[in-house]
Amino acid sequence: MSKEKIITINPATEEKINEFPHLSDKELKESIDNCQEAFLEWKHEYIENRAKIIQLIGKELIKHKDDLAKLMTQEMGKLISQSETEVDLCAGICEYTAENGPKNLQNEERTLSNGNKGTIAYSPIGIVYGIQPWNYPSYQVIRYAIVNLMAGNAVLLKHASNVTGTGQLLEKIFVTAGLPKNLFKALIISHDQSDMIIKNKNVRGITLTGSSDAGRKIGQKATAELKKVVLELGSNDAYIVLEDADIKNAIEECVKGRIYNNGETCIAAKRFIVVEKVYETFKEGFVKAMKAVIVGDPLKEETELGPIAREDLRETLHEQVEESVKNGAEILCKGKIPNEKGFYYPVTVLGDVKPGQPAYDDELFGPVAALIMAKDEKDAMRIANDSKFGLGGGIFSKNIENAKKLAQHHFDTGMIFINTFGIADPTMPFGGVKNSGFGREHGGFGIKEFVNIKSIVVSK
């Protein structure tokens, strides 16, 4: 009997790219066993040597930049320029981790209340299993894999099926750079086999980036096995435009924040909350700018927006738009599926967005913007926090100190960008609250999520 297989499809052309057979249960068990054996060697490797290999992985990523970027664009439809930027970001994460990892994991010496001496040590725990999405096919993998390898752990990956090729290429890049074989494995498996991995005794941590529903399921399965889990989930990020904002800059950044990565970003700008005094001015400029976005072939330099990654995702997005309109939202531009090859969806702006509409309550994963009017600053913050999510958000204001105060003391979300749209940076923690998950990555925080924080006490 032939194996089940994954077939990858180019969302811009609807043509087949490749096919990949699933591992058998026996092959999967062998992969986990081999990964554990590799871990038992790697955990004793000097941290400085680990850092050298991490640095080499970053350099190898740059060597394969053209091939990797083209494959990501073919598999999920992002602009080729953004695929190239993603590879640069991944290399930057390797460089940052190689430089800062040894310092982050240094022992800490303390004097106890009774005069005894204490040492806090950060020890690797074993295999960390990552279940990763398709929207940043390389970055999502690098984000959790590199810090865990730096910490001395081994890494298993279940990548989203439509970017299977990217996962396989990353594994080859890691090994070519000098990472010991089997220490990082990109597994081609089913959901049932994924559950087998979570239950395996040698798998000590699970991290998932995905939807809130997926987070609940994986979180329940992981905690049922008493295993540490980190969840980076979806969001419906609010970007607030206050009365004293630079409206031209706010429009430019909000357009960028909504269409970047074809609008398929958990930390994308999605709800645009504008105070009443500048609402009409912002609305006019924002809708005009969104209408002007060039949609087309993601491999062409002039294209500003590519296709949705899969046909089913486009259907879900359109259903959310239609449901929002049915419940009172107004289409300010576009909002219709084009009759052409490829899974394209037009840049769409919805007005009169209110609670009870998907555009207000849920995450719209694609180039659809929800425009909401607030009475004033206080009302804008209320609306921003009136969400089950809390990953990112933004504030546009010329009063930087007031914006920072709002961000720190009032915005109930994990990351806030002032007068800009922001994505991940290796130096800053990444993660959210509420239905956007828990745990942190980047900024020296992610490297300690899956380590054994040991207390070693010596009598005086």
Does residue 405 carry a pLDDT above 60? yes
Contact call for residues 109 and 188 (beta carbons, < 8 A)? no
Question: In sequence order, what are the beta bridge partners of 456?
Answer: 119
Burial string for 126-155 (b: 16+ CB within 10 Å, else e) reads bbbbbbbbbbbbbbbbbbbbbbbbbbbbbb
Q: Which pLDDT tens digit goes with each residue over 270-294? A: 999 999 999 999 999 999 999 999 9
Phi, psi of 239 (to 5 degrees): -115, 115
Residue numbers annotated as active site: 232, 266
- Amino acid code (one letter) for 246: D
331-353 pLDDT, tens per residue? 999 989 999 999 999 999 999 99
Q: What is the pLDDT of residue 423?
A: 81
Q: What is the mean pLDDT of residues 425-440?
A: 96
* pLDDT (tens digit per residue) in 226-249: 999 999 999 999 999 999 999 999
What pLDDT score does 422 carry? 85
Please state the φ and ψ torsions of residue 130, each to the nearest 5 degrees: -110, 130
Mean pLDDT calculated for residue range 12-32: 97
How confident is the model at residue 2, as a pLDDT? 58
Radius of gyration of the chain (CA): 23
Predicted model pTM: 0.96
- The edge-to-edge listing of strands for the beta sheet with 108-111 is 108-111, 117-124, 451-458
Residue 3 pLDDT more than 80? Answer: no
The percent of residues in the chain predicted with pLDDT above 90, rounded, is 98
Measured in residues, the chain has a length of 460
Mean pLDDT score of the chain, rounded to an integer?
Answer: 97
The pLDDT of residue 53:
98
Query: CA 298 → CA 21, 68, 75, distances in Å?
Result: 28, 15, 11
- For residue 304, the SS3 value is coil
Over residues 302-308, the mean pLDDT reads: 98
Q: Say yes or no to pLDDT of 1 above 90.
A: no
Concatenated DSSP letters of 341-361 = SS-----EEEES--TTSHHHH
- Quick check: 148 pLDDT over 60? yes
Asked if 195 contacts 173 with a C-beta cutoff of 8 angstroms, the reply is: no
Separation CA 367–CA 269 (nearest Å): 10
Q: What percent of the chain has pLDDT over 70?
A: 100
Looking at residue 82, its pLDDT comes to 98
- How does DSSP classify residue 202? T
Q: Which domains does the chain have, with CATH numbers?
A: 5-234+437-458 (3.40.605.10), 238-425 (3.40.309.10)
The answer to whether residue 460 scores a pLDDT higher than 80 is no
The 10s digit of each residue's pLDDT in 96-140 is: 999 999 999 999 999 999 999 999 999 999 999 999 999 999 999
CA dist., res. 105 & res. 320, Å (int)? 45
